[in-house]
Amino acid sequence: MKIYKYEVDGVLKNTATRDIFCNEIKVGQFQRVYSNVLKKIIDASLDYKYFVRIDAQVDGYPIASCKKVQRKGKIYFNAMEEGKPFYRIAYVGWKELVPDLAISNKEQMMMLHMNREGWSTFTFENNEVARWRADYNEESEQFSVELQIEGDCPFDNPALLISISHAILFIGS
């Protein structure tokens, strides 16, 4: 099992690059990015919740991105890494306060069972393959995030799970 830890600002508008650690060694970075200044300005007027794109990179792996997409009244996310088919992340039970998410491409499907109070779990073929939690510290106004990935996880790039986890962190906020 690999364990990744990082801090996330509780402020949605932050676009600073943040470090990712594994065994207390810096192994990568992630960042909220905008493709242009106009999108950043428009997003500010929409409480920083419309244009969400997280790029993450872990040493030895290609860059991974997760982007929020809103089309015809539906919200979903696209996660991608270089040279691989993209994953669509869609709500399952969207009427629930904290919905689960299905992560799929044409070859495989994984579920993310969200839990605001403890560990959210990634399952593949009904087996837990990863889990993450984000604990908010009111003094520092940051989330301390831990992502644990089992060896049999079908996603070999940890940056992909980090970008997905960070993009959906504020669902329901």
Residues 6+ apart with CB under 8 A from 13: 44, 48
The pTM for the full model equals 0.87
Which pLDDT does position 94 carry in this prediction? 63
Q: Determine the Cα–Cα distance for residues 100 and 93; give it in Å rounded to an integer.
A: 7
Tens digit of pLDDT at every position of the chain (173 positions) = 999 999 988 877 778 899 999 999 999 999 988 888 888 888 778 776 777 889 999 999 999 999 988 888 888 899 999 888 899 998 887 666 677 899 999 888 999 998 888 999 999 999 999 999 999 999 998 999 999 999 999 988 999 999 998 888 765 44
> SS3 of 10, please?
coil
Tokens 């810096």, located at residue? 26
Which pLDDT does position 20 carry in this prediction? 97
Which pLDDT does position 173 carry in this prediction? 42
Burial class (CB in 10 A: 0-12, 13-18, 19+), 75: middle
Which pLDDT does position 97 carry in this prediction? 67
The residue extents of the domains of the chain are 2-168
Q: Which two tokens stand for residue 75?
A: 């919200």
Residues 6+ apart with CB under 8 A from 114: 98, 99, 100, 101, 120, 168, 171
Which pLDDT does position 80 carry in this prediction? 94
Can you give 85-112 as a three-state secondary structure string?
CCEEEEEECCCCCCCEEEEECCCCEEEE
Tokens 């992909």, located at residue? 160
Which pLDDT does position 133 carry in this prediction? 94
